[in-house]
Amino acid sequence: MRMFVTGTDTDVGKTVFAAALAGALQASYWKPIQAGSLDHSDSDTVSELSGLPPERIFPEAYRLHTPCSPHRAAELDRTAVDCDSLEPPDVDPLIVEGAGGLMVPLTRQALVIDLIDCWQLPAVLVARTALGTINHSLLSLSALASRGVSVIGIAFVGEASPDSEEIICALSGAKRLGRLPQLNPLDHDSLQRAFRDNFSLDDFR
């Protein structure tokens, strides 16, 4: 069970979903590139929400200061992202989380989807349920299909939008894995409970 959690866009909820999934599977977690929010990174969020022990949260390969596309954040830090040197930890189960969406540039030559393709990891696509999700989701699923990436399914985040969720899956053929509602409060217990209520671990195995 090694998979890549990606999103249709930035801030769609993929870190919270990745935390829920990693916690439910008792998997390890790795985000190769963090751009911005170094005082409270996505790895920190996953650590808090998943309940995983520290040794299962692998450190980022790159910690970039500016909250923007990694290629530009690296340039501003006067460094370079070497995609050829990136390799997922040799552990199983493993959740790898990408930066932003599939077409986010990591360098001036390489995109997030290039890493997924190179590593041949099956993907979980996280999509918001708000307006615009049909277009973003179908474009993302089409991009994954064009590379021959195996797609485990699509996980929605937000308020229920049955028609949007249904038509995305009908037109793409992607499996609807479930929907994670907005949680208040958001903590380990509420997240794990919501994941158990809305997803089946068998879909990820």
- Give catalytic residues, as residue numbers: 31
Distances (CA, A) of 89 to 22, 34, 69, 195: 15, 16, 24, 25
Q: Tell me the helix, strand and coil percentages in the chain, rounded to 5.
A: 40, 20, 40
Prior bond of 185 cis (ω within 30°): yes
Q: Transcribe 31-56 into DSSP letters.
A: -SEEES-TTS-HHHHHHHHH---GGG
Name the 3-class secondary structure at 113: helix
